[in-house]
Structure 1
Amino acid sequence: MKRAIFATVVLGAVLEHQLQAKLAPKAFEPLPLGTIWPAGWLYDQLQVQTDGVAGHMHEFYPLVANTDWTGGDSYYSYLEEAGSYWFNAMVPNGILMNHTVIKKKSREFLDYVLDNQDFTGWLGPEVGTEKPRYLWGRYPFFFGAIQMVEYHTELTDRVVTALHKFVRLANTMLRNGEGVDKWAETRWEDFVVTLQWLHDKHPRGQEDLLVDTMRRLKWSGTPWEKVFSRDLFPKGPVEQIPNPFGKDLYWHGVNMAEGLKALPATYRFTLNTSDLEAATLSWDLLFKYHGRPSGAFGADELLSGLEANRGSELCLVVEAMFSGSYLYQVIGDLKFADRVERMTYNALPATITSNMWGRQYLQQQNQVAAKNMTPNPFPEDGPESNIFGLEPNYPCCTVNFPQGWPKFITNAFLATPDKKSLVHLYLGPFSARLMLADDNAVSVSVETLYPFGDILNYQIRAEKDFTFYVRIPSWVSGGSLSVNGDAKQRFSPNENGLQKVDLKKGATTLVLEVPAEITVGMYPRLSSSPNVVVDCQMAEYRPHGSVALHRGPLNYAFDIARTEKVLKVNPDEPYAVDLEYDPAGVWEYAIDPSQLSFHYNPPEGNVLPSPVFDSGKTPMSITATACHIEWPLGGDMFTSNPPKNPECIGENTVITLEPLGATKLRISEFPVFNASKNGVEGATNSRAQVPLKL
């Protein structure tokens, strides 16, 4: 009897141990780098990035530039923040653009880091020094190394061996209470994602060690389930709220953007559905209390509430995009994908010059100037945080922002866990080539102007029958699908927001129409206009009775005329300039949200201008009946809050709103007025409304 009891206990312990070493499957599987490629205007946008500072900083920018590979004190040779960020972005950027120099430089970076791995397993500049060893600076490098392996499979053994060696050291360090500084404490989830890639793809019998390291990272780091809890989450600007954790970095915008990955990553090794529920709550709380119509959230260093003159950091945007992609892959909720697309098509281009040689540290929804503001509205950041330049305020965004477009592209298609079906997640112009299960070779080409058009044309070829899914965004109103020229079908998406299409082997043509209506984020007033939708998912509450306008994924803004002044020219690169913008026209407008019209001018030859995110370049606009009001500044060239119930000081007029990403000075959260009570209504805009083309 005792032997039987002992055997039962041992068996139970073994089974529990085996269970702990397993990971929960994702709802969808990402595809390796080299599977998905940009096309059309999206390819051009990545070309603009490559021709800008992102593709040239290795030539002149001291934090990453180096031509001497003997090491020395070069940041580029080391895994400090700058080099690690640069590598993480440039690996996919170089490969997607087939850029010889960038591919060569990123490979040299990888080789240097691996060649200089310490005998203990450590990777980074602390080898052979007395510098303390902290884990975080390696995490972006790991993401870049993973993508190198995905594309250059011949590197697999070398990279995976180095990573496993580092994991053994990291596990020992965590057991000894070492390696965790304030940044490693808040960004532990990025290492966990790397460990899960090893566990899923290249475990080498080390599943127990990998899962144990995941657990130790979680318990050594920020308790994100508490930070994002209903009781403790800050519901306004945090400079006005006592911090219950005593650690401001828990409320740091970029940390929180990365921290959105923590709870779905935790679920994979705990298998607790409560972690998924907490992950969903985290997303909802963040955007309810700090969200922006651009799709980003407000944090001018720390969380800043809903006010339109507070800032959103560029690093925050690209990290939230990446986290949202991971959340969808693990959980499969449509809201994650919808918001990532909003961020990408609004917040990302809005904070970078159209030629992508200059960027802001902070963008504002209502941004009437980009210059030194003293005093300024950013409690934790400097007065030049919203000028456009090489490295205003802090340099991190210069080396980190280039991951945005490449990783959006590489996450645009997914596979189902059984590898039998393909999912088109982010809408836009792409091509994809891959092998599904059962040796089913599939290729997909998507020709579209989306989000600057409502029609997507697919050419699909497959060796065998398979199921294809397309995400139908929540803002689509009506819409249809046609297969091989057959009659149009209405969409019937599943709970993940995916439209299922069963395809036969051979060639298939799909045509999707994804029209949308203007949505108005207004509260509590309702619109009587039949072509305006109110209180849908996109119509988020804005303070002071103000409104924000959307159509499809695009947020619309009044593009303020501006003057430009060059503040500084980099002595080593004349394209790298710091720019100051001042308003050169009236911007103090209220609008009547019941009098809005959407306009579309098809681009010549169905080819968008380059760069498309520039004043007057996009084919879409919204006209609004407006009036001039008194709207004082809140300080030195930043707006005060939108005035409630403003008095008009002029007759009704019509103003034109452009996609926010094409504006650099803007109003995108408007006071409202009733045009019928302000005398003569504005004239009809002369731009004809026409059906949307490809």
Structure 2
Amino acid sequence: MLRQIFLYLTILTTYCATAQTPNPIYNRTPLTPTHYAQLPLGEIKPTGWLKAQMQSLLDGVTGHLDELYPLVGEDNAWLGGNGDAWERGPYWIDGALPMAYIMGDDALKAKALRWVEAILASQQPSGYFGPGSDSTDHHNVASDWWPRMVALKIMQQYYMATGDKRVIDFMESYFAYQLRTLPDRPLDYWSFWGKERGGDNLLIVLWLYNITGNSHLLTLGNLLHQLTADWTARFTTDDHLFRQNSLHCVNLAQGFKAPVVYYQQSHDAQHLNAPKEALRRIRHTIGFPTGLWAGDELIHFGEPTRGSELCTTIEMMYSLEEMFRITSDNSYLDLLERITYNALPTQITDQADARQYYHQMNQVNITRSWHNFSSPHGDTDLIYGLLSGYPCCTCNMHQAWPKFTQNLWYKSSDGGIAALVYAPSTLNTTIGDVAVCIDEQTQYPFREEVSFVVSFPDNATTKLRFPFELRIPAWSDGYTLTLNGKHIEASKAEGGIITIDRKWHNGDTIRLHFNAHVACTRWWDDAAVIERGPLIYSLKMEEHWHKHICEGADLEACGPYYYEVTSPTPWNVALHHRHLHPESLAEHFIVTMNECSNTPWSVSNAPIQIKGKARILPHWSISRNAVGSFNYMSQQLDTEPEVAEWVDIELIPFGCTTLRITEFPVR
């Protein structure tokens, strides 16, 4: 293994010496103009808690999945072996490659580069690439269009890290093959996944068009749109989001971006607006407070004991990142933060050695037992394991934090910089020919202040003019902005974005302070959810973790081990209706700030808590291994004996919990 790592590091060094990181890629005509462009992979570095979070994954499953899960190891068909030929290996590298370049980890770079070189080498004269052959066998999943869509994302990111021009020739050849082949073998020829997820294919086609300008890519773009499931209709005129079991939860997350991606080419407002209508519908049908939806593979109405798959979280994050880049619509970043800072942390263990296939809003025990899920996978869906539930999430989870980090900052088309999603990080880039460093110092999302320190690594430069854009989240009731300790005015916020256009000097410090307040929103059956800023809050529960070592058939079902989690904490409580009036929230829900460490996403390290009072509901109990069905809303309030004694409760961020009540009955 060490010899292989050395070999691929040598190859990596050779290509890096000759390649240059690409310039910002904006849309060219006739595509709709874009104002923002991603930076080269590696220019944005995480710091603080975000760096610790990514280091945990690097030291855990992301950095070592090939050792922990042989299906993505030496015998994988994408590496020329006889093993798995479908999505799992590409899924892993789709996250491992950006993780390696962002974190500067040579060992993981070598692993990822081996896959890149294997993919490049697999291309046939026809343009086809990957395992298998250009087969007409409908059961030959090795030839399926879908896993190649994931591989294309890998190659795009590799280009964004290195500028290796082989990627451009590789994609041109494959897309010419697609243009010739798709009329006879459409996206659902081998499996339905390609048709459902064709927007991912189109995304890379239009990205390549912005580099080469080859018009045949626009022809392919129209063809791909025609062959992809009609997500615009599903979001606007059809009834899919009003029916249970109508869609696969992850297909929905990936399908969200499909209309917006094609809008670049169609210029049709219905494609631009379709996801907005979908979000409006979801809020009142299948929606969850995390910004996601009930989907234990098939979608369901949003009862808080329904499951939500980890892959849904991962893919919706990616969709929102791309949708914002295309539209500059600030609301997509509000939703991105809501999902990332609530749903994502709770589904991966602190030591990054296991993940949870489904999670629940009201989740008071995690045991290997039957639950009311449409796809129960042998009752392993809630437990934390390497393979429990279904292994797709084991391989797909790795892209979440690296791609989120990659979308903290953007270049803007007017020659400026934009910091639009907030997390501790450092940007090192160039504006013109000048090297610029901006250090973002923050404990966001646990605190409401973000600071930016500007510096010029080249001592020959001490000042430079450029516009600097910042986002004002929709939840913030105004903001305060200072430069070097003095209050300043920015340009008027347009779509939630403010701009500071000035000549920047070495050491200039911007401080941006948001105003967060406790709020209450209503969800399933009018259940109450407590929010503050980008975070939703859940009942703090004591956690007892139990590790089980697997043998026999359990090794295939769960991996080498799995965790169950239980608690003695009483959870059957209701919030008082008078406490939830907007004018009463601040009085009855008291916010306390705790130390914010670099490992904040745990019940013991929660950096913020909200204390309040609730009343015990003695008749609310466990049913079918979960929180029992209950009327969250009642027209008869304060009735005995339904409600019993008052108790003190402590709420902490959803992402810090493993066990919790998030959607509370109101009495």
Which TM-score applies when normalising by structure 1?
Answer: 0.83
Query: Retained in 1: the 8 A contact 2:187–2:228?
Result: no
Structure 1 counterpart of 2:62, from 45, 54, 57:
54
Distance in 2, matches of 1:108 and 1:67, equals: 13
Whether 1:86 aligns to 2:95 is no
Structure 2 counterpart of 1:433, from 428, 442, 445:
428
Q: Give the stretch that moved more between structures: 556-565 or 491-500.
A: 491-500
Within 5 A, what are the aligned runs for 1:358-437? 358-374=354-370, 376-382=371-377, 383-418=379-414, 420-436=415-431
SS of match in other structure, 2:128: coil
Q: Deviations over 1:122-158 (max 9, x none)?
A: 11111387636221111122112111111112x2x21
Structure 1 counterpart of 2:219, from 212, 217, 220:
212
Which TM-score applies when normalising by structure 2?
Answer: 0.86
Please name the residue that 1:623 is paired with.
611
Distance in 2, matches of 1:440 and 1:97, equals: 24
Query: Retained in 2: the 8 A contact 1:589–1:671?
Result: yes
SS of match in other structure, 2:487: coil
Distance in 1, matches of 2:64 and 2:476, equals: 39
SS of match in other structure, 1:58: helix
Distance in 2, matches of 1:214 and 1:363, equals: 36
Please name the residue that 2:21 is paired with.
none
Distance in 2, matches of 1:330 and 1:641, equals: 43
Cα distance, 1:161 vs. partner? 0.9
Whether 1:582 aligns to 2:556 is no
Structure 2 counterpart of 1:195, from 202, 205, 209:
205
Distance 1:405 1:631, change over 3 A: same
Within 5 A, what are the aligned runs for 1:204-283? 206=214, 208-235=215-242, 238-239=244-245, 248=246, 251-283=247-279
SS of match in other structure, 2:274: helix
Partner amino acid for 2:546?
A: K
Cα distance, 1:439 vs. partner? 3.5
Query: Retained in 2: the 8 A contact 1:596–1:622?
Result: no
Whether 1:30 aligns to 2:25 is no
Distance 1:452 1:327, change over 3 A: same
Distance in 1, matches of 2:330 and 2:187, equals: 37
Cα distance, 1:118 vs. partner? 1.8
Query: Retained in 1: the 8 A contact 2:39–2:411?
Result: yes
Partner amino acid for 2:656?
A: A
Please name the residue that 1:182 is paired with.
192
Query: Retained in 1: the 8 A contact 2:61–2:68?
Result: no
Q: Determine what percentage of the aligned residue pairs are the same residue.
A: 28
Cα distance, 1:660 vs. partner? 0.6
Please name the residue that 2:331 is paired with.
335
Please name the residue that 1:547 is paired with.
528
Partner amino acid for 2:438?
A: V
Distance in 1, matches of 2:228 and 2:267, equals: 19
Distance 1:641 1:214, change over 3 A: farther
Query: Retained in 2: the 8 A contact 1:308–1:641?
Result: no
Cα distance, 1:576 vs. partner? 5.4
SS of match in other structure, 2:437: strand
Distance in 1, matches of 2:100 and 2:465, equals: 34
Structure 1 counterpart of 2:593, from 601, 620, 638:
601
Structure 2 counterpart of 1:632, from 612, 617, 621:
621
Query: Retained in 1: the 8 A contact 2:613–2:649?
Result: yes
Query: Retained in 2: the 8 A contact 1:447–1:456?
Result: yes
Query: Retained in 2: the 8 A contact 1:325–1:340?
Result: yes
Distance 1:185 1:517, change over 3 A: same
Partner amino acid for 1:468?
A: F
Please name the residue that 1:71 is paired with.
80
Distance in 1, matches of 2:262 and 2:348, equals: 34
Query: Retained in 2: the 8 A contact 1:193–1:265?
Result: yes
Distance in 1, matches of 2:202 and 2:413, equals: 20
Please name the residue that 1:9 is paired with.
none
Whether 1:568 aligns to 2:549 is yes
Distance in 2, matches of 1:612 and 1:582, equals: 21
Q: Deviations over 1:541-586 (max 9, x none)?
A: 3122310011111111012223333233489999952111223221
Please name the residue that 2:649 is paired with.
655
Cα distance, 1:286 vs. partner? 3.1
Distance in 2, matches of 1:449 and 1:312, equals: 27
Distance in 2, matches of 1:559 and 1:639, equals: 19
Partner amino acid for 2:611?
A: T
Cα distance, 1:471 vs. partner? 0.6
- Structure 1 unaligned segments of length 5 or more: list them: 1-18, 240-247, 522-540, 674-694
Please name the residue that 1:41 is paired with.
49
Distance in 2, matches of 1:308 and 1:28, equals: 37
Distance 1:34 1:616, change over 3 A: same
Whether 1:309 aligns to 2:319 is no
Distance in 1, matches of 2:305 and 2:343, equals: 15
Q: Give the stretch that moved more between structures: 93-102 or 82-91.
A: 93-102
Please name the residue that 1:127 is paired with.
133
Q: Deviations over 1:170-229 (max 9, x none)?
A: 1111122345330010000001110111011234xx2x2111111111111201111111
Q: Give the stretch that moved more between structures: 119-128 or 593-602.
A: 593-602
Whether 1:644 aligns to 2:633 is yes
SS of match in other structure, 2:422: coil
Equivalent residue pairs, number = 609
Please name the residue that 2:287 is paired with.
291
Please name the residue that 1:451 is paired with.
445
- Structure 2 unaligned segments of length 5 or more: list them: 1-26, 457-462
Distance in 1, matches of 2:501 and 2:204, equals: 34
Distance in 1, matches of 2:623 and 2:200, equals: 39
Cα distance, 1:72 vs. partner? 2.5
Q: Deviations over 1:34-67 (max 9, x none)?
A: 2211111111111111122222111130221228
Partner amino acid for 1:476?
A: S
Distance in 1, matches of 2:79 and 2:449, equals: 53
Distance 1:59 1:457, change over 3 A: same
Cα distance, 1:319 vs. partner? 0.5
Distance in 1, matches of 2:643 and 2:280, equals: 39
Distance 1:229 1:39, change over 3 A: same
Distance in 2, matches of 1:312 and 1:417, equals: 37
Distance in 1, matches of 2:276 and 2:434, equals: 35
SS of match in other structure, 2:588: strand
Distance in 1, matches of 2:588 and 2:330, equals: 28
Distance 1:564 1:361, change over 3 A: same
Distance in 2, matches of 1:411 and 1:67, equals: 34
Partner amino acid for 1:151?
A: A
Please name the residue that 1:516 is paired with.
516
Please name the residue that 1:556 is paired with.
537
Structure 1 counterpart of 2:150, from 132, 140, 145:
140
Partner amino acid for 1:402?
A: H
Distance in 2, matches of 1:570 and 1:506, equals: 62
Structure 2 counterpart of 1:611, from 573, 587, 599:
599
SS of match in other structure, 2:570: coil
Distance in 1, matches of 2:101 and 2:482, equals: 34
Please name the residue that 2:5 is paired with.
none
Partner amino acid for 1:234?
A: L
Q: Give the stretch that moved more between structures: 406-415 or 325-334.
A: 325-334
SS of match in other structure, 1:621: strand
Q: Deviations over 1:422-452 (max 9, x none)?
A: 111111111112223x435432111111112
Distance in 1, matches of 2:386 and 2:204, equals: 30
SS of match in other structure, 2:400: helix
Distance 1:559 1:570, change over 3 A: farther
